[in-house]
Structure 1
């Protein structure tokens, strides 16, 4: 499978993530809106799938644990620590309440031990921002890399059995409440990472199977979104505090698995006709910087009501306005930072 398609997939994945966060601010009530929200929300599995694919495609053949982790610390953990520290400094100096303080058990901060405990909690959970939970989770996945090396070396039958067990487990445990538990997130997203590895290992067979399948895959994605809207009263991701209490089966992860194949089928054909699409390549290159920056742009636009009359608009109209604007501002900020400080920007924004 051509990597151009996966470059484009990274661009689509970051668009899906920002779209999901943009629509989460909106008032979604009708059945149609809930179906649309089910399609838009939950973009993180796409990123996890891509990460699993590249783990096998790029790192497996000459895997060396210490150098692999060092690269992830530089490119992933460093911008996370920098931006999370800025966020904590802002919250503490401005007098604004710390996000999810009650859920995290953070109350009074009277001495240095309280501050150390608070900082540790926020860095462990990523709750300095509603999007940053992904970094503690994915760093745990990276730390588990020797297990994935062992997984790759198993027989195909064993790999498929492990994947199916992980998928059933994910459908039971759902995502963690408030995205506050990285280990709970590992249980939920593990099958997406394993699926990415499997696709990389059998990319030619997958490519042949997906050829001209975009339409039927797209219909399946929409059907699963409709099914979820019929079964569950809410929309988007399912969350719960205790992973092993049964509260229905997560349908969204099945939808996102099919969505991955839909995009691969579509983007493989696009990459043949447009191997140098400048917009998709730019979004792919800047995807991690957009991920780190977009929460603050959304908070500024929506949380601080920088867009006049936004609250009077319908949920989907609000989304149509805020989503492209958030992408444009985030990409512009990422580009300006990169132009100003060059290669050092990777340590600050991931690009």
Structure 2
């Protein structure tokens, strides 16, 4: 059965991801701006939570590992490889420096072995784009599916204990520096995936508990964003190179857990009164295509200065303009590709 709440949630999640990328382009310095940035950045945990929810809700009861992975390769990995290779061809043919080449240890491309090694590094890390790190990470999560099947079959206390341990670990390890390590990302995002599974397993009592709790949950989200701004001088996601060196506790993941419950509470009520919001349904259906396309739209608008005078705007002013434009252009491109490519569009953009 299709869940309208999670259709709306997917739409909110992709909006959150694009918004987080849009706000990261300009310097954010003041306390107020850092609080707002803490609220906006870090949309990926919402997607991971949704993925964990649907792993149990859709796939668990008749789970077949080979069919599950085949579907993920076709619908997730294939468009990722296609678009990543397209990006590498563009970088190499245009003379633009390869992104993060130094961090990846790419010093020269003298022979075909160097090119193969370079392609392998970019596909492993997703660094052809600032957003594509998610695919190597989530494919590792999918490969670990038998472990999640075992997790689901444990008793409630064991499941909660594993979740708590995973959450504490995530708060210590932070996100990987430059999002260059998929395994480090697995350690950080694992509790969000487990939480999605837990919410699916106990959806009715969770729904009852969250009923009319949107206000208090929203206040808690804002409080955690303010707390992070008070403790850390930066904003948004915390990153580090070595996962087991202690550099404070990650507050953002706690905020995003509460934010997931806030959206579940809010969207449950919204779906009761408005079960068919075409824009949200469209954004949900096209969410993966928007995810794949939006980095290139944002780069064109800001880095290539297709948007006049964008470099002279303040961080928040730039965000107010680039965010809706990026969504609109990405959605339009996704729709055009879908209409032109027909049944092949899902292999190209995920939609």
TM-score (norm 1): 0.99
SS at match of 2:260: helix
Distance 1:2 1:220 in 2: 30
Deviation at 1:2, TM superposition (A): 7.5
CA distance in 2, matches of 1:73, 1:118: 21
CA distance in 2, matches of 1:14, 1:327: 9
1:95-106 alignment, distance < 5 Å: 95-106=95-106
CA root-mean-square deviation? 0.8
SS of residue in 2 equivalent to 1:131:
coil
In the other structure, the counterpart of 2:224 is: 224
Counterpart mapping for 1:141-160 below 5 A: 141-160=141-160
Give secondary structure in 1 for the equivalent of 2:103. helix
Question: What is residue 253 of structure 1 aligned with on the other side?
Answer: 253
Contact 1:131/1:295 (CA < 8 Å) preserved in 2? yes
Who is 1:61 aligned against? Answer: 61
Structure 1: unaligned runs, 5 residues or longer: none
Alpha-carbon offset, residue 342 of structure 1: 1.0
Report the Cα distance in structure 1 between the residues aligned to 2:3 and 2:27, rounded to whole angstroms.
38
- Separation in structure 2 between the aligned mates of residue 169 and residue 314 of structure 1, nearest angstrom: 36
1:309, CA displacement in angstroms? 1.3
Matched pairs, number: 351
Contact preservation (8 Å) 1:11, 1:287: yes
**1:125-146 CA distances to partner (integer Å, 9 max, x unpaired)?**
0000000000000000000000
Matches within 5 A, 1:1-351: 3-351=3-351
Conserved? CA contact 1:2–1:268, under 8 Å: no
What does the per-residue CA deviation read over 1:38-70, in whole Å, with 9 as the maximum and x for residues that have no partner? 000000000000000000000000000000000
Shift >6 Å, 4+ stretches: none
Alignment gaps of 5+ in structure 2: none
Task: Quote the Cα distance in structure 2 between the aligned partners of 1:85 and 1:118.
Answer: 11
- Counterpart CA distance in 2 for 1:26 and 1:58 is 40
Give the TM-score normalised by the residue count of structure 2: 0.99
Q: Provide the rounded CA distance (Å) in 2 between the counterparts of 1:294 and 1:163.
A: 32
Offset at 1:314?
Answer: 1.4
The Cα of 1:243 is off from its aligned counterpart by: 0.1
Partners of 1:264 and 1:343 in 2: CA distance: 33
